[in-house]
Amino acid sequence: MGKCINHPERETSFMCQKYGVYMCEECLQCRDPDLYCKYRESCPIWFMTKKKNLDEPKQAAAAG
């Protein structure tokens, strides 16, 4: 467990193993979606990032 990088008051168990930073559920986003990551296949953050993008295709398109 650690503190969310954006919300230091929140405890979370989600950590980007590549960069060693924690993210709460609200902040879950792969830190490096376009680069190779050896942790990706077993990374729950990557899984949640893909799921979020599928759930919110309009927001992703607007932001991009």
User: Which residues of the chain form contacts with ligand SF4 (CB under 6 A)?
Assistant: 16-19, 30-32, 37, 39-40, 43, 45-46
In the bound state with ligand SF4, the residue whose beta carbon lies nearer, of 10 and 18, is 18
Taking the mean position of all CA atoms in its chain, how far away is CA 49? 6
Q: Which residue, 38 or 58, has its beta carbon nearer to ligand SF4?
A: 38
* CB of 21 vs ligand SF4, minimal distance in Å: 8
Which H, E and C letters describe the chain, residue by residue?
CEEECCCCCCEECCEECCCCEECCHHHCCCCCCCCCCCCHHHCHHHHHHHHHHHHCHHHHHHHC
Output 10 or 49, the one with its CB closest to ligand SF4: 49
